[in-house]
Amino acid sequence: MANVNTRLNVAPVPPDEIFALNGAYAVDTFPHKVSLGVGVYRTDDGKPWPLPVVQKAEKQLVVDNDLFRHEYTAIEGDVPFLGIARDLMFGFEGKQTEEEAKARIGSVQTVAGTGANHLGAIFLAHHMKPRSVWLSNPSWANHQTIWELAGVPRKTYPYYHAATRSFDFEGMMSTLENDAQEGDAVLLHACAHNPTGLDPNKEQWMAIADLCERKNLFPFFDSAYQGFASGSVEEDAWAVRYFFNHKPDMEMCVAQSFSKNFGLYGQRVGAFHYVTNRSSTSIRDIVVNNLCHLIRGEFSMGPRVGCSIVKKVLTSDELTADWHQDLQVMSSRIKAMRQALYNELVRLQTPGTWEHIIQQNGMFSYTGLSPKQVYALKDKYHIYLLKSGRASISGLSEKNVAYVARAIDDVIRTEN
């Protein structure tokens, strides 16, 4: 190998597991291969599903022929879109103090949910300087990368109890109570926890909010599945709205994505909301100003096309109703596939317990399969899922669910 003369100090980094797995699936020529890796919605035929309401909105936007549709927006993004995104996330209907509530929230447009998480992490690293950020164990792998790049030390709180395949509420609370320090940030999944599919119940969310308030921790919500998980935008925003409405003296933030609930994966539609406490609303505009400073130095402003689609849908009563129906279609199919996989595993009398599959929520399931079993599924049956055992339920269909169940049954019995 020739000598390389460079000032760079670089070493290879591991490839992203999800994208590497998807690449391997793409070149697999086996006719019955199954992708349970990447987190995108698929129809029962395994095809992408541009939401019908999105297609309606796109046609209306073509007819509108807005001459400014390719122009720059403001640094903070499309301002009307930001109000719509904020209202969808926090909900203000029927509240006498609506204006006071909105005055607490500073919002900017981001490059999808990843960009919102990144912007929030960089902003907190610069201006709040938390000693640590607490991530669930496990969490979305990109959370680790985002906070590493922000330069904030990462710690983890227990989340998944492997023996029972359930949410480890006691472990989470005990660790944060004993080890988290005042001013630490705590990353919370608003709903449909990725990768486990396990969420706190409402009483547990209340206890988590109390703990954050008492210990002066900073809640950082990642909301990637509002409406997609349960079919209800209100239900999936319950935790965020509880913290916001019932802990008005606590600051917090929300990274909001429209990738899943509008199927706008490649359009990169997102928002970041910083919530001041009720006595500090005067700093809201300064917060936005500083967020804009970071945005200007990184990507100048958020993408326009995707947010125009969201704005078109959510400013029309008719299209909003259509969108809610599309959410029901997606969430119902996911739930049906959970039930179908569970039923097949029970019918086969597959060793182990499988109730967790139907008790979990949203796109992903922490199946409980070992890395060895995952590799066996890939090598023998061409079924692709993460080595952690996380499966994207959207990849199941009426055509392949029995095949997947038989494969799981086989690799478990073979190992036993």
**Active-site residue list:** 140, 222, 260
d(CA 8, CA 183): 36
d(CA 7, CA 11): 13
**Strand 185-189 to strand 218-223: parallel, antiparallel, or no bridges (unpaired)?**
parallel
> Where does residue 214 rank: exposed (0-12), middle (13-18), buried (19+ CB within 10 A)?
exposed
Q: Which of 96, 287, 130 is nearest to 217 (CA)?
A: 130
**Strand 154-158 to strand 133-137: parallel, antiparallel, or no bridges (unpaired)?**
parallel
d(CA 28, CA 243): 46
d(CA 98, CA 91): 9
Phi-psi region of 49 (alpha: psi -120 to 50; beta: other; left: phi over 0): beta
Contacts of 371 (CB under 8 A, 6+ apart): 387, 388, 389
Are residues 187 and 134 in contact, defined by beta-carbon separation less than 8 angstroms? yes
Are residues 48 and 266 in contact, defined by beta-carbon separation less than 8 angstroms? no
Sign, CA dihedral 81-83-88-93, equals negative
Contacts of 59 (CB under 8 A, 6+ apart): none
